[in-house]
């Protein structure tokens, strides 16, 4: 297995993690943990497939995925920013909604319990491209670059970005300064969820179809990437790449003698725990309940 194919695997694996984690970061910066990322990943993957199939265009699929992400974000925000529901419970509800909803829609639209009909993704992306060429031709790459560059700039320079940080770091102080805390959280959650929706689009375009439960815990791993990256876009992205490398190793080494495949499947989760431990130790354990 050449290094180029490993590179290719990593790149395709990184999009769902990265979009999801950057979206989750926006919400987390506003002080709301986004447990619903997993559901958004799943839901927007289906939306991307439905949009592509219904309108015959990958761009329509992309728009549908982002829209569904934002829609789930509205539900999430309506519950936890406006109605004071614990974000963990509203995130949980989002995940369950996506789990049941995608399977119901799958059956209602395509009479299948497993997957949607196949979609083309972006038609100009072919296997014949070199790995690097395929990356540069993929609109998702440019979108990820855009999001990754826009977020640090936004948090540092825009009024909204500063408000989000203020609301997340010191909600009471922000309120005293006249910021509408629920409203700012609301917008941050919807924006973050829309970004996370791009992760679902990437998932569906990569598999060339929607598959039942195809998010497979990636949303939770993304949540961990936000934590260990300490809500800094650059570090969060690095964490995502590391998780993508582990996923890619799983694909590349599949079927080789030595380590059994099932053990590879647990690698990203073990790595996530390890990363949490290291991040926790570096932070020092000032967090004590006793």
Partner 1 sequence: MTASANGARSSEGARESFAQRARGPGMALLAGYLVFALLVIAYGQSPRTILGLLFEGTLGSSYGFGQVLFKAAPLLLLSCAFEFARRGGIFNLGLDGQLALGSFAVGVVGTRLAGIPSLMALPAALLLAACGGALSAAVPWIFRQRFGAPEVVTGLLMNRLVEALISYGLGAGLGLPGTVRTADLPVGLRFARLDTWLPALRGSAVSTALLLSVAVLLLLAWLARNLRWFREYALFGMQPKVARTLQLPTKQFIAAAFLVSGAIAGLGSAVSVLGYKGYFEQGLGAGAGFSAIAVSMLGKGRVLPTLLAGLLFGALEQGGLAVNAYVPKELFQVVTAVVIASVAISDGALSRMTRRAA
Which residue ranges make up the site for partner 1 (CB under 8 A)?
31, 33, 35, 38, 75, 79, 83-90, 92-94, 96-97, 99-101, 103-104, 107-108, 113, 217, 220-221, 223-224, 227, 260, 262-263, 265-266, 269-270, 272-273, 276-277, 279-281, 283, 285-290
Least distance from C-beta 87 to partner 1, angstroms? 8
If the CB atoms of residues 29 and 62 are measured against partner 1, the closer one turns out to be 29
- Residue pair 20/218 in contact (Cβ under 8 Å)? The answer is yes
State the nearest-atom distance from the C-beta of 158 to partner 1, in Å.
Answer: 25
Nearer to partner 1, 3 or 84 (CB): 84
The least distance separating partner 1 from the CB of residue 130, rounded to whole angstroms, comes to: 34
Q: Which helix (H) or strand (E) holds 232?
A: none
Nearest approach in angstroms of CB 237 to partner 1 is: 19
CB nearer to partner 1: give 172 or 285.
Answer: 285
Could you tell me which of 88, 113, 86 has the C-alpha nearest to residue 36?
Answer: 88
Q: What is the biggest distance separating any 2 CA atoms in the chain, rounded to whole angstroms?
A: 63
Q: Which of 200, 6, 5 is nearest to 116 (CA)?
A: 200
Count of beta carbons in the 10 Å neighbourhood of residue 166: 20
CA distance 23 to 197: 8
Closest by CA to 17, choosing from 32, 38, 33, 35, is 38
Instruction: Give the three-class secondary structure for 115.
Output: strand
For residues 273, 275, 276 and 282, what is the CA-based torsion angle, rounded to 10 degrees? 150
| Cβ at position 162, least distance to partner 1 in Å | 21
Nearer to partner 1 by C-beta: 244 or 272? 272
User: Least distance from C-beta 43 to partner 1, angstroms?
Assistant: 12
Give the three-state DSSP class for 29: helix
- Token output for 30: 């506003």
């Amino acid at each position: 297995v050449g290094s180029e194919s490993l590179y290719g695997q990593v790149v395709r694996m990184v999009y769902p993690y990265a979009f999801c984690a950057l979206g989750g970061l926006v919400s987390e910066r506003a002080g709301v943990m986004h447990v619903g990322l997993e559901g958004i990943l799943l839901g927007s993957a289906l939306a991307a497939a439905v949009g592509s199939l219904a309108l015959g265009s990958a761009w329509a699929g992309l728009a549908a995925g982002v829209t569904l992400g934002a829609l789930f974000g509205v539900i999430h925000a309506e519950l936890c920013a406006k109605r004071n529901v614990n974000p963990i419970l509203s995130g949980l509800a989002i995940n369950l909604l996506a789990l049941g909803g995608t399977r119901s829609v799958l059956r209602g639209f395509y009479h299948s319990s497993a997957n949607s009909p196949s979609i083309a993704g972006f038609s100009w992306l072919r296997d014949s491209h070199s790995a690097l060429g395929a990356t540069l031709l993929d609109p998702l790459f440019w979108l990820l670059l855009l999001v990754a560059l826009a977020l640090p700039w936004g948090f540092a320079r825009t009024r909204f970005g500063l408000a989000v940080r203020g609301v997340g770091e010191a909600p009471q102080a922000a309120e005293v300064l006249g910021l509408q805390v629920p409203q700012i959280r609301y917008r941050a959650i919807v924006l973050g969820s829309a970004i996370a929706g791009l992760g679902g689009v990437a998932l569906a375009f990569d598999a060339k179809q929607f598959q039942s439960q195809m998010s497979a815990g990636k949303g939770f791993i993304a949540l961990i990437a936000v934590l260990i990256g300490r809500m800094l876009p650059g570090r969060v992205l690095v964490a995502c790449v590391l998780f993508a490398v582990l996923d890619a190793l799983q694909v590349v080494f599949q079927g080789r003698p030595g380590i059994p495949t099932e053990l590879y499947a647990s690698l990203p989760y073990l790595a996530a725990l390890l990363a949490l431990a290291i991040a926790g130790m570096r932070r020092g354990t000032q967090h004590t309940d006793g």
